[in-house]
Every structure is written in structure tokens, then in C-alpha cells.
């Protein structure tokens, strides 16, 4: 999904000034194979972004009134066609100021979820990505940002308490 309409409305009023926005990252993990046997290395669902070519976990902005867990499920379905369920909050972080090519400035408070794969074959389901696929967590593709590597690591630490930015 492109920039939500409510943010476009805000931008008409405030221009390129910095916005603080709630966001989610959904790290969808597959820990068992199709034969129901545990995988030696869990697999993570990644998308290749259309805007910059980077690989990333599924992420997006919350809609007004939407809970973070609901947003994570929605973003995964919208971007990959996969159904996943939230397991836990893996991390909460501010990854710094983002300045877009058009001059818009945003800072995202990111809630990262460890997500469990439920069903569906991964596919490019919107115009935000050019590729979607499963990757062994021991062989992640490049380019993959530090932010998404940290999110994947936090999600892989099953059962650990939520990690917070210092």
C-alpha cells in the first residue's frame, strides 16, 4: 500500500516537516518444513523493495485506530499474500530520521513482531516490492539493512523478552 491517505492529508498541511509515526515490522518465520520436521535453520520471509532494491522484512505504518498486531498481520497479507500470526513483540526501536527523495521527513517508532507462518505461497502482492521469498536465516540476501538484520535477530531469539533501543 502506498502512503496512507491520512498522512497525505497531513503533508498538505505541514509540508515536509518531520512526522513521528507508529510503524510495525513483521518478521515471519518458518521453523518447520513442509514435512513438519524442524528446520536446521529457520526461514524468514523477505520482500525486495521496489523503491531502493533492498531486501527487508515486511513493514508498514499503522492506520488510525488499528492495533500494532493487526497492522502486522495486514501488512504481511497485503505485501506477500501470506497469512501469519503474531507470536510476541520482539523489539521496539527508533531507527532514526528518514528523509525521502521528495523531502518528506519521518521518524518511525517501530514495533517488531516475531510472526509465525500460517499459510499461503509468497508472491508479490502489491507495488511496494519486486520479489518475495523465503530465506534461510543463516544465508540472508544482500542488500539487507542493519535495521532489518537487528529485527530478524530479535525475532529469532524465541521466548526472549522484548529488546529495546538504548
Which of 20-29, 80-89, 101-110, 156-165 is the least confident region? 156-165
Whether residue 115 is contained in a domain is answered as yes
Indicate if the pLDDT at residue 1 is higher than 70.
Answer: no
Whether residue 2 is contained in a domain is answered as no
* CATH number of the domain bearing residue 60: 3.90.79.10
What domain count does the chain have? Answer: 1
Whether residue 7 is contained in a domain is answered as no
Whether residue 65 is contained in a domain is answered as yes
Whether residue 11 is contained in a domain is answered as no
Whether residue 6 is contained in a domain is answered as no
Phi/psi region, residue 101 (left: phi>0; alpha: psi -120 to 50; beta: rest), is: alpha
Whether residue 73 is contained in a domain is answered as yes
pLDDT bucket at 33, cuts 50 / 70 / 90: confident
User: Whole domain around residue 128: which residue ranges?
Assistant: 19-32+39-158
For residue 138, the model assigns a pLDDT of: 96
Of residues 36 and 26, more confidently modeled: 26
pLDDT tens, position by position, 94-125:
989 999 889 999 999 999 999 999 999 999 99
The pTM score is 0.93
- Show the CA angle centred on residue 123, arms to residues 117 and 126, nearest 5°: 110
Amino acid at each position: 500500500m502506498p502512503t496512507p491517505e491520512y498522512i497525505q492529508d497531513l503533508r498538505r498541511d505541514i509540508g515536509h516537516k518531520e512526522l513521528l509515526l507508529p510503524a510495525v515490522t513483521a518478521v515471519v518465520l518458518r521453523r518447520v518444513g513442509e514435512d513438519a520436521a524442524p528446520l536446521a535453520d529457520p526461514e524468514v520471509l523477505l520482500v525486495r523493495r521496489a523503491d531502493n532494491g533492498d531486501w527487508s522484512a515486511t513493514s508498514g505504518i499503522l492506520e488510525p485506530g488499528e492495533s500494532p498486531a493487526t497492522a502486522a498481520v495486514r501488512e504481511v497479507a497485503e505485501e506477500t499474500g501470506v497469512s501469519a500470526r503474531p507470536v510476541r513483540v520482539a523489539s521496539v526501536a527508533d531507527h532514526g530520521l528518514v528523509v525521502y527523495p521528495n523531502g518528506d521527513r519521518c521518524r518511525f517508532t517501530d514495533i517488531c513482531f516475531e510472526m509465525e507462518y500460517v499459510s499461503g505461497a509468497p508472491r508479490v502482492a502489491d507495488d511496494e516490492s519486486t520479489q518475495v521469498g523465503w530465506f534461510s536465516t543463516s544465508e540472508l540476501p544482500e542488500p539487507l539493512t542493519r535495521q532489518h538484520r537487528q529485527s530478524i535477530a530479535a525475532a529469532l531469539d524465541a521466548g526472549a523478552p522484548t529488546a529495546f533501543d538504548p
